[in-house]
Each structure stands twice: as C-alpha cells, then as structure tokens.
Chains A and B, each alone.
Chain A
C-alpha cells in the first residue's frame, strides 16, 4: 500500500509522470539455489506474514506443494530432478514474482494505479484498484500473477513491501535457515552473489552465475544458479525473458495510434460535412 516511505515511480494505465522526486536505493532479494534445502520455511513465513492460507491440496507425487502459485500462494518451491555432467541433481527453486525493472504486468494493466513500481524497485499490486481482467498475466514473462477464486482480483509476491517500507527484510528472508535467501540493496546483493559464484566455481560448477535477466532490464529478485547457462533446468526458468512482442505492440504503438485514428475519423467526418454539405435529393427529383 502506498506508504509514504515507498515512493511510487510508475503507475499502471497512467500516461503522465508519477512522483519520483526522492532517490531511494534499489533493493533486491538474492536466492542462492545452491544453498537451498527445500524446507519451505519461506512458504510458511509468506503465508503467516501476509495472512494467506491456500486450500489444503493433494499430494501430486512430487515435493511441490501446493503444486502451483495461486491467489493465496505467492511463493512456491519448485523441485526439479535433472541429470547433468555431475550426475543426478536435485535443483530446488523458490518461484515467485521477480520484480522486473521493466514490469510487463504494469505495462499491460488497464486499471490506473492497480499496479505500481516503487522507487526501490518493488512491483506491487493494489488489489483495490484491480478489475480482474487478467491482462497482467499476458504481460508477465515469468507466469506469476494469479486471479483469486475468492474475489476475482490478482495477487502475487509483494516482496513484503510493507515490511521493507519500515526497514525490515521480507518475511521469507527472515525464515530461511541456510542463508539461501538474502536481502539488501541490489548492489550489495550483486557483490554477495559474486562471492557465492566464485565459491561455486571453485567447487567445480564452472557455469555458476547470477540470474538478473537484461531482457526485463534486470530484476529485483535474483538467483545464484549452479548452471546459469541452462536456467530452464530450474523448472523452466526462461533463458532470456522479455515482455511478449504481442503485448508490446498492443500496449505500445497500437494503443495511442488507434485512439488517435478513432478521433481523426470522427473529426474527418465532421469536417467533410462542413466542407461538402449533405448528400441531398435534388428538388426537381422530389417533384417528379
């Protein structure tokens, strides 16, 4: 919610500048997949802090539980068993909103102020402004937003914007027992990631690296991956995510051009009438 310590720099469906006078540091969550033990403490912390409880589901045969993100599950652990040159590996990725610097959801959203981006980089949904159209789902390159079956509004990870606003770390970070989750300024997180990657390199993970995809101008949730050259190994994490060109065309050039076109058509018709006058039946014809 729009607390004063969170300056909104971008608002959905708004064509003028949002207030961005103050300069605040960009924050980021760093998820070190190599340190994750899959305990799901972060899932529990997320539920607790945000007061969301998903329906009790069924075991789908793998550790993924709940099996997918939903209106009440804003983060889920994705478990992938893959064979690499190192043999069988169990890759566990905490899935959720990536808080893109160039957010497709925000660009696609037609409801003013339903999606905002704070100057610290967090992308937040203001559900009270959400109309439930699902356009944000088309805009997201990571398949994150979910429409709630309860209220028809769309939900996702807030990066605990309410906690961050008062100087706390997100709930998931606080709960992580292994230090796989860390939070701080984006710059600090990159430095931290560099050290982690160096360590992984020394342990034989030659392709270890940071996932901070440039296709969405970087993200405010980043991963340290053992196999950064093959992000798809981690439950289909996209290699080069970007806003779909369909959505860019629709919400980019089409939106203003079509609006102007409609206005010009009306104006053209009016001026045609003024210039040429009506297409009347001549009087002599009437008298026939």
Chain B
C-alpha cells in the first residue's frame, strides 16, 4: 500500500483546505453555541475567554463558516446530485450499517449518505446565517421586530441541532470507514478503498488514466 501507484487522488488541495476551514469554524460555533444554549454547556465559554467573548466571537466565526461553506458547496455541488442508484443504495442502509451489504448498486464519488449530508448542510448553514443575522446583538437585532427575533432564536437553535447531529454522523462515518479520513488529510485514498466504496467513481477515474 505504500506503493504510490495504489493511491488515487480524491480531494485537491483547495478542497481540503476549504473543508477544514468549514470544519474548524463549525466546531468552534458548535461549542460556543451550545454554551449559550443549555447551562450544562456554559463551561464551554471558558474556551473562548468567557461568556461575553463567546457571544462576541460566535457570529463573526459564523460569517467565516458561511462564506467558506458557500465556496465548498460550489465545488462539491455537481458530485452530489442524487441518482436512482443512490436511492437504491439507501434502501440497503440497514445492511450497510451492519457490514452485511452485498450487491450494492455502483456508487459514484459520493454515496447517498454523503449526499444527504451535503444537502442538509446546504439548507442548515444559510438558515443559521439568516437567523443568526436577525439575532446578532448589538448590531442587527434591534432593527428587527421582536416577534421575528423570537422566531429566529428558535429556528437558529433548531437548525444548529440538525447541523450538529448531521456532523456527528459525518464524523462517525469517516471513523467507521477506515481509509476515508486520508481523503481529506492527504487528498488520496487507496485504489482498493475506491473500488470497494465508490466503484463507479473508480471506473470513471481509471478510464482517464488509461
């Protein structure tokens, strides 16, 4: 496996850097956001220099995540169109989760789960940005009617909850599937990994090489 020829390129340098900007800002946002969501998490404000600093920093970090997410979504959009093969794959989810799946439809660069994550985040991240803008003190919140601000805090919490759950699934899927994480750290995966998990994608890129 140390053989260079057995590795295939999965994510380019810009994709990787962009992904990790989104990932780091997401973690910072989740920690500072949870700190202000439930008192059980308030201790997390210590990571940001206290409650007031958490409140000040959170929305600015949010803007960084939103902008970098837009760039990432633009890069990944075409590879995340859901196909019939994906839907068929989705029906076998229970077997896949039990490591018992056989004869799965040939999956392209991303599987149904990854694509669902993508589209969930496409909805969640802009929702967080818009609702976050409406509740952003002291700059913007005073400009909105109080009923809208109340609605926005609720929506912000709901969207954040969905996003956090989606990212927990995303991170676990990467851990659960050995050989995946290097796709986002080194940019490459082994040919065997590509053949096993994303056969249609592997065929496509092999064609180009030959």
Binding site for B on A (CB under 8 A): 13-15, 110-112, 129-135, 137-138, 143, 147, 149, 152, 244, 246-247, 249-250, 254-256, 258-259, 261-262, 265-266, 269, 272-273, 276-282, 285-286, 288
**Complex: chain A residue closest to B40, CB-CB:** A259
Contact flag A132-B52 (CB < 8 Å), given A258-B157, A265-B169, A269-B169: yes
In the complex, are the beta carbons of B165 and A262 less than 8 A apart? Answer: yes
In the complex, are the beta carbons of B157 and A254 less than 8 A apart? Answer: yes
Contact flag A273-B176 (CB < 8 Å), given A135-B153, A254-B158, A286-B190: yes
Q: Which residues of A contact B192 (CB under 8 A)?
A: 281, 285-286, 288
In the complex, are the beta carbons of A281 and B179 less than 8 A apart? Answer: yes
In the complex, are the beta carbons of B99 and A261 less than 8 A apart? Answer: no
Binding site for A on B (CB under 8 A): 1, 34-42, 45, 50-52, 54-56, 96-99, 135, 137-138, 141-142, 146-147, 149-151, 153-154, 157-158, 161, 164-165, 168-169, 172, 175-179, 190, 192-193, 195-197
Q: Which residues of A contact B178 (CB under 8 A)?
A: 278-281
Contact sample, A vs B, 25 pairs, CB 8 Å cutoff: A13-B39, A14-B39, A131-B50, A131-B51, A135-B36, A138-B146, A138-B149, A149-B138, A244-B147, A246-B147, A249-B154, A250-B153, A255-B37, A259-B40, A261-B161, A262-B161, A262-B164, A265-B165, A269-B169, A273-B175, A273-B176, A278-B177, A281-B190, A281-B197, A286-B190
In the complex, are the beta carbons of B52 and A152 less than 8 A apart? Answer: yes
Q: Which residues of B contact A152 (CB under 8 A)?
A: 52, 137-138
**Complex: chain B residue closest to A108, CB-CB:** B153
Q: Which residues of B contact A138 (CB under 8 A)?
A: 146, 149-150, 153
Contact flag A266-B168 (CB < 8 Å), given A110-B36, A110-B37, A133-B137: yes
Tally A-B pairs: CB < 8 A.
135
In the complex, besides A138-B146, A254-B157, A281-B178, 14 extra interface pairs with C-beta distance below 8 angstroms are A13-B39, A110-B39, A111-B51, A132-B138, A138-B149, A138-B153, A247-B153, A250-B154, A256-B38, A276-B98, A281-B179, A281-B190, A281-B195, A281-B197
**Complex: chain A residue closest to B96, CB-CB:** A279
In the complex, are the beta carbons of B42 and A279 less than 8 A apart? Answer: no
In the complex, are the beta carbons of B165 and A255 less than 8 A apart? Answer: no
Q: Which residues of B contact A131 (CB under 8 A)?
A: 36, 45, 50-52, 54-55
The one of A265, A272, A285 in contact with B195, judged by C-beta atoms closer than 8 angstroms, is A285
In the complex, are the beta carbons of A133 and B99 less than 8 A apart? Answer: no
Q: Which residues of B contact A281 (CB under 8 A)?
A: 178-179, 190, 192-193, 195-197
Q: Which residues of A contact B172 (CB under 8 A)?
A: 269, 272-273
Q: Which residues of A contact B97 (CB under 8 A)?
A: 272, 276
**Complex: chain B residue closest to A11, CB-CB:** B39
The minimal Cβ–Cβ distance linking B8 to chain A, given in whole angstroms, is 13
CA A258 to CA B190, docked complex, whole Å: 38
In the complex, are the beta carbons of A246 and B138 less than 8 A apart? Answer: no
In the complex, are the beta carbons of A147 and B38 less than 8 A apart? Answer: no
Q: Which residues of B contact A14 (CB under 8 A)?
A: 39
CA A258 to CA B37, docked complex, whole Å: 9
**Complex: chain A residue closest to B52, CB-CB:** A131
Max count, chain A CB within 10 A of own CB: residue among B96, B99, B197: B99
The minimal Cβ–Cβ distance linking B18 to chain A, given in whole angstroms, is 25
The minimal Cβ–Cβ distance linking A109 to chain B, given in whole angstroms, is 10
CA A70 to CA B92, docked complex, whole Å: 60
